Chain A
Amino acid sequence: DAGVIQSPRHEVTEMGQEVTLRCKPISGHNSLFWYRQTMMRGLELLIYFNNNVPIDDSGMPEDRFSAKMPNASFSTLKIQPSEPRDSAVYFCASSFRVSGDTEAFFGQGTRLTVV
Chain B
Amino acid sequence: AQKVTQAQTEISVVEKEDVTLDCVYETRDTTYYLFWYKQPPSGELVFLIRRNSFDEQNEISGRYSWNFQKSTSSFNFTITASQVVDSAVYFCALSSTQGAQKLVFGQGTRLTINP
A101 to B52, CA, bound (A): 12
A43-B91, A48-B100, A50-B100 known; A103 and B105 CB under 8 Å?
no
Nearest CB in chain B to that of A89: its residue:
B43
Q: Which residues of B contact A42 (CB under 8 A)?
A: 105-108
Interface SS of A by simple majority: strand
A42-B107, A42-B108, A43-B105 known; A55 and B47 CB under 8 Å?
no
B23-44 CB contacts (< 8 Å) to partner A: 35, 37, 42-44
Nearest CB in chain B to that of A103: its residue:
B50
Q: Which residues of B contact A93 (CB under 8 A)?
A: 45
A91 to B91, CA, bound (A): 14
Interface SS of B by simple majority: loop
Number of residue pairs across A and B with beta carbons under 8 Å?
A: 58
CB distance from B31 to the nearest CB of A (A): 10
Query: Are A103 and B47 in touch, CB under 8 angstroms?
Result: yes
A107 to B47, CA, bound (A): 11
List 23 interface pairs A-B (beta carbons < 8 Å), by A numbering: A31-B101, A33-B102, A35-B103, A42-B105, A42-B107, A42-B108, A43-B103, A45-B104, A48-B102, A50-B100, A55-B100, A93-B45, A101-B100, A101-B101, A103-B47, A103-B50, A104-B47, A104-B101, A106-B37, A108-B42, A108-B43, A108-B44, A111-B43
7 residue pairs, one from A and one from B, having the closest CB atoms: A101-B101, A106-B45, A43-B105, A108-B44, A103-B50, A42-B107, A31-B100
By a beta-carbon cutoff of 8 Å, the part of chain A in contact with chain B is: 31, 33, 35, 42-45, 48, 50, 55-56, 89, 91, 93, 95, 97, 100-101, 103-109, 111
